[in-house]
Copies of this chain bind each other. A is one copy, B any other.
Amino acid sequence: MAESNRVLDTAALRSMHPADLAKVFEECDPSLHSELLSRLNEEKRADLLVHLDPMDRQQLLEQTSVREIAELIGELDSDDAADVLGDLEEDTVVRVLEVREQDEPEEAEDLRELLKYPKDTAGGLMQVEVASIRRSATSTEAIQALRAWQDDVENMHFIFVVDDDERFIGTVRMARLALAKPETPIAGLMEAKFVEVRPDVDQEEVARVFAKYDIISLAVTDADSRLLGRILVDDVVEVMEEEADEDAYRMVGSDAEELLYGDRPFRIGLIRLPWLVVNLVGGFCTGLLLWIFQATLEQTIALVAFVPVITAMGGNVGSQSAMIVIRGFATGRIDPAAVGVIVFREGSIGLFMGTLCGGIIGAASVIWLGDPTLGLVVGVAMFAAMSVATAIGALAPVVFRRLGVDPAIAAGPFVTTANDITGILIYMLTATALLS
């Protein structure tokens, strides 16, 4: 009772920021959910929906009727509405839009257009509600237009300026408009545009544009520079978090999709398994290599003691180089057209670290086992394995990128497995050559 009283204090709920409301919703007992929702007006319920985490949102939508979803959608900005619709089954979307169509045919049409863009592109991020005005207008006309957009004005920090052909040419900051004398020509308040994006640009590139130009709002335009919509920085902040998650999960051979499955270990295990199986097969190949060199191993059993350290070191330097190239691509630091430089650089680093680590392990094994030839084998193999591993690590993301595969997967099981195999091969070949 104490909890339900606290959770369901209507006045407190209504004054809360939707993000905090979402937190309360997620953390309270599910049996209180419908009671909680009933105490909110439609606008607050719609805002809550946007701020819920993907798993809770999906659960809530499953329990909501098509008519109700249509009403909630009507409260949202087009980008948020499209996001919510994007999470629904296709036939539910069709029915929701049919309902919307009866009240707001134009809005339903806009949403249909927005849903055509993939979620992870500029088109998928943008909202179509844009405050735009002709260059020939005046500050007074701009303020009148703003008043007409009253409802959407909450998130408008700029007015976009277009020429007589409706082409985007610049922006006017709200502060400038607030300070402008009546009847000031818009052209005099405008700053010329310095960037715009097409709707098919990838969201990672969009985030990069925001980071580069320190902007809070970005125009999305068609090939003729006509305004299609705008992207606001708060969505980009979300994108960056999503991308960082996505990359991190891929790097360890999983997928951010597992965030949808909360506490279901089997479902999550299935997402992580495919790369593990690749790894398993790779491990089998490594074993096969050792099997082939069984005679060498039986002759000098001490060789076995260095198998793990050689594979581990190769795996590590390989992951380092892969990660550096992946982050370079993600942030735009590395120009995909000039990857030769970076591969050469990582190769040099690999040679340097390989020389050092190979020297250390070689010397240590001579001291430990008192066998200079064995020390030479281990040292040379370590040096060669590490040098090759850095090259493989640096090249893998480049190759994946060319093939249209997310380079992030290169940092994970793939490179480790490839380096295990080459490491063992190098080690066994060195041993066979030097010990026979």
Contact = CB atoms under 8 A, between A and B. Distances in A.
Nearest to A243: B244
A360 B280 contact: yes
Interface stretch (A83-91, A162-170, A175-183): A175-183
Contacts of A16: 194
A312 interface: yes
A255 to B, nearest CB: 11
A6 to B, nearest CB: 19
Among A252, A307, A310, the one with the most B-chain Cβ atoms within 10 Å of its Cβ is A252
A372 interface: no
A401 interface: no
Contact of A211 (B241, B272, B310): B241
Nearest to A240: B240
Contact of A179 (B143, B258, B279, B320): B143
Given A19-B213, A317-B276, A308 B311 contact: yes
A251 to B, nearest CB: 7
Contacts of A192: 15
A301 B308 contact: no
A319 to B, nearest CB: 5
Among A240, A308, A319, A364, the one with the most B-chain Cβ atoms within 10 Å of its Cβ is A308
A392 B53 CA distance: 28
Contact of A273 (B263, B331, B356): B356
A304 interface: yes
A70 interface: no
B265 A349 contact: yes
A290 B330 CA distance: 41
Interface stretch (A30-38, A121-129, A152-160, A221-229): A152-160
A249 B290 CA distance: 33
Interface stretch (A61-69, A99-107, A321-329): A321-329
A140 to B, nearest CB: 11
A317 B269 CA distance: 10
A273 B313 contact: no
A143 B174 CA distance: 12
B316 A252 contact: yes
Interface of A: 15-17, 19-20, 53, 143, 146-147, 150, 153-154, 156-157, 173-179, 192, 194-195, 207, 210-216, 233-234, 236-238, 240-241, 244-245, 247-249, 251-254, 258-259, 263, 265-266, 268-269, 272-273, 275-277, 279-280, 282-284, 286-288, 290-291, 294, 297-298, 301-302, 304-313, 315-317, 319-320, 322-324, 326-327, 330-331, 333, 341, 345, 348-349, 351-353, 356-357, 360-361, 364, 411-413, 416-417, 420, 424
Given A211-B234, A252-B319, A316-B413, 10 more contacts: A210-B237, A211-B237, A249-B323, A254-B323, A268-B349, A273-B353, A279-B316, A283-B361, A286-B312, A298-B298
